[in-house]
Structure 1
């Protein structure tokens, strides 16, 4: 799929990787970018900040079925859907005071992603097939205990992407799963001791996956290292997670 001249929708576009995707899409010649955010003020600000009128801010909470349906009905020219919106509440499965934060991560990271794919699949089909990009995490290929709700939600989203790819193959829609490691964003500010990529780096890597129809793509050095560790010595990797949890509790 060509990025130049395409029309894209990016969820969670007001900061971090989402903002990086908006900036990179514009730099690579996208005709229009629908920049989605939960806040009307954020949506308006993103639109106002684009001097050439190629950004349209829209209010969208991916867990709100009415807003998702409205977005699909409004944005009928979309050929590239980037599911970036995410929630990370930094709760463990056993120590979380209740299940609320864990449920919210699953609602946003899994059910919200699936809802967007379901809503926009007919739009993409009408526009020639296009592509879906699901922004996932190295925590979706390796279970990270400190990310008790987040990591399982990304595992689920990764599996969903494989299922959706098979379901939409017949209409020519490519589905790319991005395995993201460490990025210099607010969500990852707690991560120390590793090299962090910029949001634009992740966006460039993600758009490369779109252009070359790559099904699953490790977007940065940290993601590549995690996958290599998993392939080389999965038992040692699991043990390192246990040791890290012990240090955290200590």
Structure 2
């Protein structure tokens, strides 16, 4: 399936900064008709509203709150592309005192948030002939990094759910894209101590536009991620994306 951004209505969670903001800007530059800016603090989108006017619409969502996600789907009931970008990261290795609380927080937002977004928006997306659900995962969903163990665990679970969505949403003519960036120049990367050498957010956002158009499932947008892709590609093609039902 090929998805062209032009004239589409999209929704991006965590749209006010970092990768989310870059996705909004890339979508609009490629001709998106409207982009919902799904954030916790509506005032944080003021700069985007000033720049793009009625081509963007701020809407409230809290990915830790199931009812908030349901209300968002009712409000943004014309979307054709959903980008679940918002996420949280806490520094915690397996023996850290905060490991359990960190994992609970990250699972709530990164994993259950994805599950609830998919369940809420699938009835909306399947109304269209050409729609997509984009999930921001991470290279950390494939390899654990000890100081970010709980984050890696939440993203690994999210990646597994994304694979399930690929299969189930294909029956509804909804394309699924799993995005796996390495260190990107965001507040989250700085918080994690990975800001040095991090690549531009535009690398991810433009990669998403291209990946949707080419109909691929995995996107490894930056240099570090592409190193992972080189090693992972055979497994992804022969196991993750293969139809193993025809044993």
TM-score for both structures, normalised by structure 2: 0.88
Q: CA deviation at 1:50?
A: 3.2
Q: CA separation in 1, counterparts of 2:60 and 2:75?
A: 12
Q: Deviations over 1:25-52 (max 9, x none)?
A: 1111100000111113224x15532344
The question of whether the paired residues in 1 share the 8 Å contact of 2:13 and 2:85 is answered with: yes
Q: CA separation in 2, counterparts of 1:168 and 1:98?
A: 34
Question: Is 1:26 matched up with 2:28?
Answer: yes
The corresponding residue for 1:187 is: 188
Question: Is 1:109 matched up with 2:110?
Answer: yes
Runs of at least 5 residues in structure 2 that lack an aligned partner in the other structure: 235-247
Q: CA separation in 1, counterparts of 2:134 and 2:96?
A: 33
The question of whether the paired residues in 2 share the 8 Å contact of 1:182 and 1:197 is answered with: yes
Runs of at least 5 residues in structure 1 that lack an aligned partner in the other structure: 233-250
Q: CA separation in 2, counterparts of 1:182 and 1:63?
A: 24
Deviating above 2 A after TM superposition, structure 1's stretches of 4 or more consecutive aligned residues are 46-52, 226-232
Q: Deviations over 1:188-235 (max 9, x none)?
A: 111165x32211111000121111111111111110123445689xxx
The corresponding residue for 1:243 is: none
* Most deviating of 218-227 and 130-139: 218-227
- Report the aligned-residue RMSD: 1.7
Q: 1:120 to 1:129 in 2, by over 3 A?
A: farther
The corresponding residue for 1:89 is: 90
Q: CA separation in 2, counterparts of 1:99 and 1:118?
A: 27
Q: CA separation in 2, counterparts of 1:79 and 1:46?
A: 24
TM-score for both structures, normalised by structure 1: 0.87
* Aligned-partner SS, 1:133: strand
Q: Deviations over 1:92-113 (max 9, x none)?
A: 1211335222111111111101
State the aligned residue count.
230
